[in-house]
Amino acid sequence: MTQDTETNPTDTDAAPSATIKSYRQRFKTFTAIPAVGRDRGDVLAEMEEMKSLEDRGWEGGHASGCVYHGDKEHVDFLNKVYAINSQTNPLHADLWPSAVKFESEIVAMTANMLGAAESGAEPGTPEEICGVVSAGGSESIQLAMKTYRDYARDKRGITRPEMIVPTTAHAAFDKAAQYFGIEGIHIPVGDDFRADVAATEKAITDNTIVIVGSAPPFPHGLIDPIEELSELARARGIGFHTDACLGGFVLPWAEKLGYDVPPFDFRLPGVTSMSADTHKFGYAAKGTSVVLYRGHELRRYQYFTTTEWPGGFYCSPSFAGSRPGALSAECWAAMVTIGEEGYLDATRRILETATKIKKGIADIPELYVIGDPLFVIAFGATELDIYKVMDAMTERGWSLNGLYKPACVHLCTTLRHTQPGVAERFIDDLKASVAHVKANPSAQGGQAPMYGMANTIPDRGVIADAMTKYLDNLYRLS
């Protein structure tokens, strides 16, 4: 489970944590629509107070991922764009053709960044690299998996679909399996924490509809062998999806800057779809992503259409009907104002900072970096409890991601970490945290018990039940 809050999802009988429930004591709780509407000025003042409290958690570069840009001038610009477009809805293209312009150009720009021009598919033809704008990476992934399911059922008569995914692939693939009745075949990663090609080949059956690779996967930031995996798929007429939600707006620029980036995009003939998050390193506001396909035919299996509804003919490209066109406008505005020069500069700063942090971690004798990642840096401990180190970092104001299989922690480097002194402060605090854990090996509390338990409990249903109760807890009023 990622460190989005400090609530322990396994401690379901305890009172809600102060971190996510403290506003119940600070501000009025509404359980019914007020008889008389509140003053708008009071509402805005209350929200500004909440914002000021919450900004402290990420502005100084203490959070892993979460906020990828965060510069005030950039955020203010996007907020103005949102205000101009706040009433737009792509569902009604006749009223808001601007939404059509923004979304079609977002898709085209993203496709060209990810190898469309070198794919061999001519623009404007049915074989071109095409796609849609979604609400986020999880939706992009789910849309792609639903598309492969429906395509395989129609073209190959597959009624018991299987998708092959590495164990490190994003949880959204498991969500897609659950939602769409696809069996997820999980393959191991090798000693290098990258998808095992031989295990993938062995797992292919007549029911395989798609093979998945990540560039990079969330846990360890180490790019899967996309070229080899996609060739396996191509040789057998199976779809291949590159999940570049995290790296799609980093890796192309890293390659141009001279970093060693293995091929992962549509330049590989076996790659038939991709997902890339504009709201991460594309620096758009939260709520947009892009899913791309090799050819119109495949994309059409994503669409929904109905001709029999009394309300009229209805069609939509993704799960939602009405959507906030303002988010697409913000995304478009971010991409065209940042430009290649801006993305190259941002990527250079991030990768230089990540290199400094990797070296700092590697220089701590009790810790080790997993592999040689570019910007998502996972690290473990040789003898210490790494989760206790994470707790000690939390006490120092850092919000890191706890992982397991193996026990480790990661930091996703963003522009927030490129601020002067942040990398140095991270390493200094990490050294102090290691020293604290060495001096207090029996200390309890924080996330360490939860993650330690997750590594040892064989009955995963116990943990799943605890997480379900945790989600229930989020909506409790007391």
Which residue, chain included where needed, has tokens 């798929």? 233
143: domain CATH number is 3.40.640.10
Mean pLDDT of the chain: 92
Asked whether residue 305 is assigned to any structural domain, the reply reads: yes
According to DSSP, the residues that pair with 379 across neighbouring strands are 369, 409
- More confident of the two residues 24 and 349: 349
| Structural domain harbouring 119 | 97-334
> In the predicted model, what is the mean pLDDT of residues 217-233?
98
Q: CA 459, CA 4: separation in Å to the nearest integer?
A: 24
What's the pLDDT score for residue 306? 94
Asked whether residue 465 is assigned to any structural domain, the reply reads: no
The candidate with the shortest Cα–Cα distance to 443, out of 378, 376, 394, is 394
Asked whether residue 291 is assigned to any structural domain, the reply reads: yes
Q: CA 313, CA 38: separation in Å to the nearest integer?
A: 40
State pTM to two decimals.
0.91
What's the pLDDT score for residue 447? 61
> In the predicted model, what is the mean pLDDT of residues 421-434?
97
What's the pLDDT score for residue 11? 38
Asked whether residue 255 is assigned to any structural domain, the reply reads: yes
Asked whether residue 370 is assigned to any structural domain, the reply reads: no
pLDDT in tens, 87-126: 999 999 999 999 999 999 999 999 999 999 999 888 889 9
pLDDT in tens, 145-160: 999 999 999 999 999 9
Counting the structural domains of the chain, the total is 1
On the question of pLDDT at 272 being above 80, the answer is yes
Asked whether residue 17 is assigned to any structural domain, the reply reads: no
Asked whether residue 212 is assigned to any structural domain, the reply reads: yes
Lowest mean pLDDT among 168-172, 274-278, 330-334, 444-448: 444-448
> In the predicted model, what is the mean pLDDT of residues 342-369?
98
What percent of the chain clears pLDDT 70, i.e. is strictly above it?
92
N- to C-terminal Cα distance for the chain?
24
What's the pLDDT score for residue 445? 62
On the question of pLDDT at 431 being above 90, the answer is yes
On the question of pLDDT at 226 being above 80, the answer is yes
What's the pLDDT score for residue 21? 72
Asked whether residue 77 is assigned to any structural domain, the reply reads: no
Q: CA 376, CA 439: separation in Å to the nearest integer?
A: 29
On the question of pLDDT at 446 being above 70, the answer is no
- More confident of the two residues 60 and 134: 134
